[in-house]
Each structure stands twice: as structure tokens, then as C-alpha cells.
Structure 1
């Protein structure tokens, strides 16, 4: 059994079986409905059929798979089957086994079927192509005008077309006409009409697959036959004509055609020509309809294979001269003859001229249109007497003056063509008029008022040498005084019309060439004004910023630069270009259009300035020139930002950068440069968090706009920022409540209280000499840093200059009640601070009574570590945070005192958040001081605080905190939930510190209500303590103090830790009062305490 099963499976896997069609045989034919309103669709799959028979149109050698249908014809007429491919045959029988009526392939018709008769339909496909087919079947009742004997009468009228419908699917073929292919089945319908008058009939709306044929009668003579829209010509009034439309069966469908009669024009033949009047001084208008015409002849410029419908006119020329015809399309031809049947004089299409006609002569005019475009046209005709200066020998003398133009008028329509100049197209008819003039001075001639279709040509004589040729307004250059020149003006006949032109002479300017440069002394205190008239210049050269298509008329100036710096051009028209050279024929140094700045000239050196305007925009102009002192660029390579790109590659620290177009780092990115120059009228915007880094000098002739948190950083301490334009540094304060204040400095060297802080209601300057620690605060916090004065005389109202590097207490609000918003500050007086800035440090008697208030003087952030390391008199920085409103309950010299809890501090080990910061970390300083940020220091001795460029940083110019470099540090916090009090202390470990007191690394604690602090071996109480490099044998003593006069609960925990050395270390806290040991790495420690100070109560251990 197994071999049999395998054989069966093999057979099953390679054969496909189809269920046999139910109408596979004629006796099983399916009845289908054939309707007239629309087609019905039926589906078959010839793969399910077998072969019953072969029809007459099939190849009996093929296997023709067939299915069978029957239908009853609903009307007398045709059946149309569509949707079948050309591999499928369709055969019609009168019955099963009966006579084959018709057989064909592909879509097609069965014609002349009888209503009520049942027909058998066989659909068959060669087995090679067998598959699914969807076919459509529809009946069409025989058209009433299917035969000529039943032709439909139609009305053919004039003044508007009549519309008729035809469906060729309802037609059969009666005959083939002369223009049809007899091998096609041409389905035809018939009409008849009576011609209302002598003339033409136009039929439109039929496609190019439909033929139209005219007969004199049914069975009579064919008169005309054509495809597509068209005419039947020369029909006779009152005569009845038979019209046949036919469509090849392949394209049979519905059409709508229009038919209209046009009475033959009275001037359809030359012998019946219409007399028209051709005036001067204005055109006469005449109307024609070429649909009323027939073809008389073909003119020389026409295609003889076209039907050119023509009408005829005659006129008498009123003057010697030209006739111009306008208003005709480029499909219409105009031909002039000397008589009917005479010589053709000229032939052309479209508007145009007949030239050199003779006064009193009669001419015959023929207008013809190709039948395809026949329609109505209104044309204008006018005569123009020949201009007296139509030829060079008749040239008119012109008077040419300087100091004003003279005007002359003429009409090209009165001219003919004498010659073609070098700048004209010889294929055009260039109508010309002639003049002559004598040059009054050595210099240029300027002609204006002529359009760009008019040429102007200069000759040395009639028939002589052409000297220059140009189009439109323009110049003839370098003409000689006393010489007579011949001027020709020409225009293409297409555009001919009246012209008024102006002509003026301009004497050559003395400084037209570089070797003849005028001496210029640039303004220093104020600019000097240069006046020039480019119309007296010629072109010496094209500078890099000039266009090269047209002449650039230039004049030259020689100047000596009074000092190292720039040349600033103001008030110049944008059409004026200015370029600078180191010598005549030397190197171009700069080139620009309009007002701008040329940078980097050396004092004592002579330079050439070239002033230029295109010949398209000549005229008088003026501008101002001023020399501005400025440092020279430092590097040898320069790249300029012009029109959205760098002209010499992207900038870097080795390239000088010139900003010639608006630049915004928010769009185009931060960049570095060797030096930076900003052109006058141009703005460089440095966006938030973006920067511009400059190795050396900055030269601002335009505008430098530093947005809030944007940075500009110079590297070289000796370099400068020269402000010959505008510099703006914008700062936005944090959200400030009423009575909040900022400690602020200035990044500009001449800023004033009345400038940037004009809207602030309080600005105070600090005087360390008047500071005495407040005794109440000292009593409450005996071992802590005290920033509260005894009587408040250390702060006093400030006016005038904001001293560079100093910090000021600023309330930017408008009053004590204003607030709950941010405030925008604008520093724009003076120039940017750069390089070394020094500020005196006042030392009274102790560090505690020597607070000094400073401010970052730069337009970039600085490193707090670098600042501390550069200043041995400073070991910590203090920052004011905006957390607690002032209160009369806080100790101090004022009715309303601020809390010491709002001060955060920073030293070389790191930062400690303000005690009033509930997070214990958000306000911890991050080691960077933002631009214009103020801060406090406690001087260790008298001396000088130093700022320099090495401290400056590209980023971190904001008031938010970011991560510092990794160190081994531990922040411990104490928190009281009942009164919402907290304090943080920092303990760090570094090889730079010891167990003792290390300047810059150890900082006393602040006077806060609750304090957790560490102690040195000498019992100094520290808010930040730095110990030797970390090892697990280190023990740290901790103290605790509280001014809360009640027994309450406190919790000590690790707020934050940092450093790989602490990763696998357990931290233990020992309370010597309760003798409890807590592992702080995973737990916090809670205890109770009353008011008091408890030094050395706690100890910190590591394992």
C-alpha cells in the first residue's frame, strides 16, 4: 500500500483541479439580461470550461474553451460587449446547434438584432490564456437616422450655433466615404439641412476620430469629407444638403456637435475688395470674421497645405511712409499687393509694418487666417509719414549741454531700417532714426528715457566706424571736445512707437583714474563728507563686490591712515560700492556696497579708496568718511560672514572674523576667532547658552548683542574691545519677591547707576570701613561668620559710575511693594571689560569684620576655584539666595533684617547650600560665577582682589547650578520638621588639605538658627572643612547648635556624597551624649535637643 500512496501524493502535488462551469455546454447556457439604460456585468472563468466547438473566426488547431449564454433582445438594434481581451472570441447564434450569425475577437458589436428575439452567445478563450474575465453587455436601439433615407432634419442658423447629440453605438455602417479607411467599420448617422444663405458651415465639438461628409442628396455626389472640427465652404442659399457623421467602431460613443452657418463675406474675393481709409495721427479700426471667408490663393509666407481663409481690402496711401497694422494674432497673415492679380509686395504674420509706401498709390491688402483658428478679429490700421531723419544723410543736429539734459522726441513708426548695428539682431526689422552732435567737453554722453527695446549706436561719421552700441539708457564714454559724432537710435518694429529721450554731456572727473586720485583726509573727531558724480567717471576695473555685466563708473581717492584702526563709511547709497587698495594696480583690501566699515588699516600708511556706481544707477551721491582707532587683526587669515555663509571657511581660533551680515548664534552656532570685527549697521547676537571666543581683540563698529546667559570671552589679557558702535549685555534676574535684592556687578567699563539700574528704586554701595559685626548677631552666633552690621552704615545709596569688579546691592523693583516677577537689565555704557581687573580689599582687624562685596566684571562666567587660588587674601565666597523675606524678628541694625540663613558659601572643596534651602542642595554654588553676578568675601588681610582672563569660562554663564569636577565629599544635614529648619555642612578630603585650618579649603560656619558644623583640632567651628586625603581611619568631630528655645526633635542624615573613595565605605555617627552609634549610609539619626551649643557632641567614623 505504501508505494501506491506515494504515487497518489506525487500526482496530487503537481495537478490543479477546477470545478466545471455550469454553462460549459450550450444546452446548459445561462440566461442573462441585456438592458439599454446601462451595461450589465457578468464574470466567467474560462479555465473551468471545455471546448464545445470552433467558431468561424477561431483557429481549429487551438483548444478553445467556451461558455454559453442566451439573451432576448429588448429593442431593434445593436449589442455592445466590452471588457474582454483580444484573446477572447464572442460568437452569436440564432439557437443551440443553429446558424452562426457573427464572430469576432475583443470588445465589439453585434449589429441589427431584432427586438424580442432570443440569441445564443458563446464566449471562448484559447486554453493558453484561460482565466477570469468580467464582461459588460448593453443594447442600443437603432438610431432613427441610421440610414440616409431616415436622415434627421436640423436647423443651421447664423448668429449662434445649434447643438445636437449622436450616439454611434446605436448606428451601423451604411457606406465608406473618400476620407475614411474602408477596412474599418465606420458607424454612421445622417442629417439634412437647408442653407439659409450663401456661405460656409462650421462644425465643432467632434473629435479627430469622427469624419464629417457632405452630399448633395442621399445616394448623390460627395461634396466634401474631413475629420475633426471644420468647415464646408461655398454652400448655396436655399439648397438642402445631406450630412453624414461616422465614427470607427473602436471609438464608438456619444458626441455633442455644434453647427453654425456664416454668410459669405462681401469681400471674400479680391474683385469684391472693401475700400478702407488709412489715416495719419490715429488708427482706424475694422472688423472681420474669417469664418465668412474661403481661400482665394496662398501668399508666399503661408503654408500651402493649410486652408487659408482670406478677405480683401484696398486703400490709398495718404503720405510717403509706412502703414502699421495692429490687433491681429500671430496666426493671421497680412499681405500687400500692387493690384488684384498683381505682384505681391510683402507678406508676414502678426502685427507689423508695410514700409516705404508711396503717397497717392492704391494698394490691395489681403488678411488670411488658417481655418483651424478662424474667427473674429478687430484690426487697426494707420499711416506714418517718413521721418526726415530716417536715413543718415537726413540726420538732425542735436544741442548737447552740460548742467542739464535736452529732450528730443520722435516716432519709430515713421522710420525704416537703414543698417543693423553690432548689438542688434539682424533677423529683426530694426527701424532707425539719425542725429548728430558736437561734444562740448571731454567726457561722457548720457542718454535716458529710452526703453530696453531701443538701441543707441555712435559713429564717427555717416557710413563711418561704429564706436559704441548699447541697449536702453546708458553712456557713451571718453568723447572728445569739439568732435562731431553721429547717433543712431533703433527699435525692433514689433515695439515701434513714439519716444522722448534726454541727452546730456558730463565733463570727465579729474580723479577718474587711480593715478589721478584726489587727496582725502579722513575725519577723526567727526566724519568728512565726499560728494561725487559718477556720470563723469569711466570704468577702471571691477572690484570683488561689483557686478560685471554693466560698466562700473569709478573715481579714486588717496588717503593716509592717521593711526591703526578702521575706516567707517556712513550715509552711502546702497547702489554705491566702495573698495580699498594698497596701491594703484595693487591688492584689494576690502569691498562693500553702501554704508559699512573697512577694518585693519595701519597708521602712517597710504591707501586708495575707489568709489563706484553701476552705469544703470549713475548720479550724484555723497557719503561720510571717518577714521576710527582700533587694534589691528592679529592673525594672517580672515573669514567674513556675508549673506549667510563664511567666505573663507568656518572660523576658528586662528582666523580673524569679520561679521558683514546679521549673525545670531541661536541660528548659526557659537564660534571661536583670532580677532572679531563687526561691521557698521550689522548685529552679532550671542544667544542664551551660546558663546563667542576671541583670542585677541574685538572691534565693534556695528552692534554686539549678548543675550541673557550668552557669553563673549577674550583670552589675551592685553587685548581690548573697541566700541565704535553699540554693545549690549542683557541680564534677567531670578524671580524676585517684594524687598528681595540682588548683588550685582557690571561687565561694561562705563556703566552707571542711572543707566542699567535707572528703574531700580534702591542701589547701595558697600563700605567695608564702616562694617562692625552686629553685637546681637554675634551674641546669638558667637563662633559664626557675621554679615550683619551694627548700625547699617556699611551700605549707602549709590549714584554715578558702577565701579568695575565691585558688587552693589540692587533692588530692581519699582518700590517696596513691587515684585513677584523677573526684571530685565541692559548694560550698554562703555565697552566690555577684559584682562586684569583689580579691586582693593579692605581689612579692618579680623576676617569677620572685613566683608568686601565684589562682582564678576566679564561678559562670561569665571571659575570660583581659579579666583580663590589667585587671591591669597580670600578663602571663601558667599552668595545671596532669594529664599526668606526680611523680618523684624531677625537680629540686625534695621527695622526689617534679612536672614543669614539665605547665604550659601563656597571654597576650594565645594559649596554648601543656604540653610533656608529645604532641599539642602539646590542653592549649593557649583564653582562658577555668572557674568555680572555679585558675591561677598571675608578678607584675610588687606590687599587687592584680582580678576583675569584665565579665570573665564565659555559655559556656565547662568544662575543655575551644574555638576563640578569629581571630588571626595560628604554633605551632612540636620533637619527639624516642627519648625521647618535645616542646615548643611560639607566635609571633604584632598591631599591639598590637613587636619588643621587650611586657607581656601576651610570656612567658618554661618550664623544660622540651627547649625551642624565640624571642628578642627583647635576647635574652630567650620561650615566647610577639608581634611587630608581620605582613609577609613579619619575621625571628624561635629558640633550642633540651636536657638530654638524648646525641646524638639532633629534628624541628621547624609544629604549627598561624591567620590569613588566613598563608594564601598560605611559612615557611622556617634552621639557622645546618648552614646548611640548609627550607620548613616543606610539610616538617619534622630535626637532631641533644647536651645544651646554642643561642640564635639558627635563624631564621624568610616569603615
Structure 2
């Protein structure tokens, strides 16, 4: 009996100690390390054990309107977790089945500026919580708050499951939506998208002359990246492609300058040819200059009837933006930029099938030649003439012209013409033809000459250019008409005249420009249709031949006694009647091995 009393007394004392304020004091019970938002535990997908014993209340109200009907409270005695999404997708978060009634809330933002995204009170047996399909973005961090309904405490498992979104690539908006490392038009998913139809040359958009709006914002970089011709282009990154079919032999002019103003620093490339065999004809980077945003300009380039030409437009070093592309086409002489080269003496012409100049070209100003009945120079033809010497020139259509002409002379460029002389009807001429006399020409200055009709209509005619008191050199027939001792193409007066140019006469067997190169052997004929079948380059594969035992075969002087090897090229397969022009020879030695000794000097020689 005595022992039992002692035991009961001991148990009473122990129970009194356990229930005393000393044992229940908060200072003696540790709080969870993730008790506050600022100390949230970083977690990833999978299961994470948790408990909210001894956790305090954050005091942050829960917006229950996001999960009405789920019996969510203000999530008392809460603990915090943080989660950074590795990719975009949908996140499931659950405490089911926990051992107590939980509340679950998800936020984005930071602890000082929380933005509640979703919440849940009761979703499964035991009143645990689940949030399904919370949208997350790659690299974004989300805060997850787990508390007890009205402060209930307990332990459980927090489980996170991310389902990747696999969003399709949006080919109309900048970005890599499907997270495959390929954006917009460089993504194969956009291959058939209208936004990317001209991203590569195979889908080049057909255009006609005039303005075409463009936008390379979504474009990828591909195709030919080499730069030929020494233009200041970077290679047209984020490029788009256009195609143009020339209706007749003529000339192209292409620009993103005013009035084809671009919103970015452009690069332009022009090609002929077809798949896998494109030939660059011209290119430009910044011809428009800084005042026009470093737009690009390709000047007068020859094109041939029925041929398809490809235009590649991109941004300098990857610039993106939009603008307007201006393409001008003209047969020879029908537009200022396609002006025919005129020479001293007679220059025949025919305006019968020509059109009026573009509206951007100013109408003739009759105030510069009052009283001569100057009209609007309709159905006009253009010449460009460079004065070989300074002196008084005469321009006349009085002979060989059978319609009422207007004659206008300009200086400057086709985009910035300045009218300096004009004439409508000259009394020295019949049939209301035109003549400008005593024009003060300056040596080396280029003049644009415009001949049109007073009214609509036109026809054949002849422009004669002479220095006052001098018989001009006639470059079209044999003889030294100006008696300067130099006849025809040898005379500087004929420099640049059609009859003294190789281009356009590349199959006549004559050295028209007197440079010692005839027809297709002259580089002036590289773009001529008659020479397009000739190769532009030849190459030979690497040769691993051991030359250590080869005897001399090309030594032509006593000092050339070392071992040599001869390589040759057979060009008989190419249809080039006048042979091939050699522009350069590139030779490389890949490996030289000496069996013994310090080695010898290795030399490369080319014998042509």
C-alpha cells in the first residue's frame, strides 16, 4: 500500500510539471526554418515532407474568391516553400492525404509584393488540399504556402508535379514558344506559315516594279552568307527573299532609301541562277548613308528577258524591322537610272515604245528656256554624257527627227536632278525640233539629257552632240572626223560610247574597248548572256602525292633543279570559243615531311 501511494504521488508531480508554463513556453519550442516567406525552403518536383508544429501565423489574408466552396481559411500556423519552374507548363500541388485539415496557396512575386495566383481548402479525404494545372513560366519562381484550417497543426507530404506545356511555336510573334531553341521562321514548325513564306529563297515572294512593304522581324538567317564585290554589307542576317522576272532586256535599280524608307540598317544582295547555283550580281550595305538610316541601294544592273532574279534583304548584323523596298525596272533609256550612254556625234534613238518618266522625276521647267514652247517631255528617252573637255557644246535633234521634241539637260543624280538648260522649238530646226547651243560644259562632268515629245507620241530620231566649231568624232564609222589623230574607239571622245563597249557586243570577235580582251575573255562580258555558260571558277582536289622522288619537269633555268610536280587543268569541256581568263591561282601545301636533316625551303610556282 505504501509503495502504491509513492507511485501515485510521483505521477501527479510529473503531470503537473508537463503542464506547467515552464514546459509550454514558446522560447523552449523551436519554430520551423521555413516559418516565414523570407525563409521559404526551395523545392523541386516530387515529394517533400513537412509539418507546421510550432509554426506562427503569417497574417497574410487569403483571397478565398479564387477557390470558393473549398473551405479555405486564412492558413494559420503556415510554412513556406519556393519553386522555380525549369520550363513552361502546368504545376499540380497537393497535400493529399495529409494527417490534418490543410490550406494551400500559391503566389508569384516576392515576399514584399506577393500576388496570389490560386488556393484550395478541402480537395480530398481528411480535408487536405490540391491545386491543379497552375500555369508556370520557365525560370519564374513561385511561393507555396501550406497552413492549417483555422490553425490546425500536423504533418504530411507536399507533392509537386510539372506537366510541360509543349506550346506550339507561334510563327507570328517573336519568341521561342515551344522552347526547342529555334525561334519563329528558323523553327521547322513554321515552314508552311504565311509569316515565313519568303524566309528562304525557295519561297521567294514574286514582286513587280514599285514599292513592296517588308518586315524581317520573324525571319531566320540562312542561305548564302558570302559577300562578293566588296560591298559594305554584313551578310544579310534575318533575311527575306523576293523574286523578279525581267520582261525584256534592261536594267534594275533597287533601294531601301527614300522613297523606300526602311526602319532598320539593311543589306541588299541580287542574284541570278537557280537552286544551289545562285550567282551574286550586286550587293550593298549603306549607300544611303546615316541620314537615311543606312539604307541600301543597288544601282543600274543589267537583266535579261525572261530570266528570274532573286533579291535577298536582311538586317546589318541581325537588325530587325520593317520598311519599304523600291524596285525600278527600265529598258535602256526609258528611265533616268537606265540612261543610255551618249557620245560626241550622232546618237540615234527611238521613243516609239517608251513610257513617261516616273512621277518622282520633276516636269521640265519652261522658265529656264522661255518662249521656246517647252512641253512636258512625254514618252521620253534619257542619255548620260560625260564632257571629255571643257568648252561650248551644242545638243540638237534638228536632223533625223520627225516629231515635235522637247530637250532638257540636267546635272546631279537621278534622285536629285538639277535642270540647267532646255529647248522646245528652235527656229533653226524644222518640224519643231530642239537645239541647245553654246552650253558651257565642264570637263569630266556627267550630264543627263532628256528627249521627249511636246505632246503624246514619239518616234525615231537623232541626238547630235558637238563642240562649237568642231566636227565631232563619229564613233560608229571608221575615220578620224575631228582630225585629232585618233580614230573611233582609240579617240577619248568615244570612251564609254555603246560602239566602244565590250558589254552588249560579246560575240562579235572584236576588242571593242581596246583592252586586249575579246568577248567572253573580257570581264565586262561576265554578265552577258553570250558568256553565261563559261565557268567562273575551277578547282582541284587535294593531292597526297609523295613528291620526294619526282625529278625536275618544269625547270627552265639552271637554278631550278629541285624536285617539282606539275598540275594542269583541262578546260576543253567548256563552250568558250575565246578561251578562259585566269584571274588568279590559289595553291596550298597541306603537309611537308622531311625524312632527315633540317629541311629545305619549299616554294610554289604557277606556270600559265
Shared fold (TM-score, shorter chain, > 0.5): no
Greater Rg by CA: 1
Structure 2 length-normalised TM = 0.31
Structure 1 length-normalised TM = 0.20
Higher relative contact order (CA 8 A, sep 6+): 2
Structure ranking higher in strand proportion = 1
